[in-house]
Amino acid sequence: MNEHLFPRTEVAGVSLSRMIIGTNWMLGWSHRSPAQDHQILRKFSDGEKAYPMLKTFLDRDVDTIMGPLQQERVMQEAVRYAQEKSGKKLILIDTPIINVDDNEAARREARATIRRSKECGATFCLVHHSSAEALVNKNKHIIDRLPDYLDMIRQEGMIPGLSAHMPELVTYSDENEYDVETYIQIYNCMGFLMQVEVETVNQIIHNAKKPVMTIKPMAAGRVSPFVGLNFVWNTIRPCDLVTVGCFDAEEAEEDVEISLAAIERRMPEIGKRSSPNQHQDAFGK
């Protein structure tokens, strides 16, 4: 496989690898079945077990990782071990779930949650979609009281953004000029977990004022890496990013190569698919 370093982009002046390391397949959220969730949890019972995979990413300059950092012990351990072992720094994107109830006690709790993101080393703090979407008022085209939480993030010295599943979070952020430097969007060729058509989300991404961090490019394993990654890389902007979850180092290397090939408009240098009969004419020499 090629040994190219992965291309980079800038978000709020911070240089990030355009590929982001996803963590659902390290933390037990397969979006497939309880059995697969349990398989993930057995493999990654502690953070050290994620090191071969994280080292593969870091060796290719994929140094940006996203997930619920402060609430997940395994992610914290994995980041700490990988940085110590490799001598390289990971750029951390935390997606905390915060209490958005409209009272003083809830605001104190939200502030404490955001502070923990900073204490865990996060550069970016993206309010979790389940919290942000509870504030959406579609009739008024607003995200009620969102600026309060974005200000809390700024006060802690982090870069604010939204872990948005609902497409309107992107459009309302831009329309109201909220202090949002980036936003997540689910984006894949199947429309898996997307709330509107693929074409509509594509339009939202291309019209967004800030870089978009896309997630679930392979629809949680429902399409192959070749299909899923080629679609996403070829239908987003050069400033946008793609989040990729992997189960081991070999998958990470394969996803990096497929992605580089998609960006560079070439065939990926990966092995042939296996078959009971490897001597079929369609497989070539």
How does residue 2 score in pLDDT terms, banded at 50, 70 and 90?
A: low
Residue 206: the pLDDT is 98
Residue 40: the pLDDT is 85
Residue 26: the pLDDT is 83
* pTM of the predicted structure, to 2 decimals: 0.93
Environment class of residue 97 by beta-carbon count within 10 Å: exposed (0-12), middle (13-18) or buried (19+)?
A: middle
90-117 pLDDT tens trace:
999 999 999 999 999 999 999 999 999 9
Secondary structure class of 79 (helix, strand, coil): helix
State mean pLDDT over 54-75. Answer: 92
Does residue 275 carry a pLDDT above 90?
Answer: no
- Which region among 40-44, 137-141, 236-240, 251-255 has the lowest average model confidence (pLDDT)? 40-44
Does residue 192 carry a pLDDT above 90?
Answer: yes
CB atoms within 10 A of CB 252: 25
State mean pLDDT over 43-59. Answer: 93
Q: What is the rounded average pLDDT for all residues in the chain?
A: 93
CA distances from 175 to 112, 169, 171, 179 (A): 29, 10, 6, 11
Tell me the C-alpha distance between 126 and 69, whole Å.
Answer: 11
Q: Where are the domains of the chain?
A: 8-271
Handedness of CA 191, 197, 198, 202 (dihedral sign): negative
Phi/psi zone of residue 107: left (φ > 0), alpha (ψ -120 to 50 degrees), beta?
Answer: alpha
Architecture of domain 8-271: Alpha-Beta Barrel (3.20)
122-177 pLDDT tens trace:
999 999 999 999 999 999 999 999 999 999 999 999 999 999 999 999 999 999 99
Find residue 176's DSSP bridge partners. none
How does residue 70 score in pLDDT terms, banded at 50, 70 and 90?
A: confident
Q: Please check whether residue 117 is in contact with residue 96, taking contact to mean a CB–CB distance below 8 angstroms.
A: yes
Residue 269: the pLDDT is 87
Residue 30: the pLDDT is 82
Q: Are strands 136-137 and 142-143 parallel, antiparallel or unpaired?
A: antiparallel
End-to-end Cα, the chain, rounded Å: 19
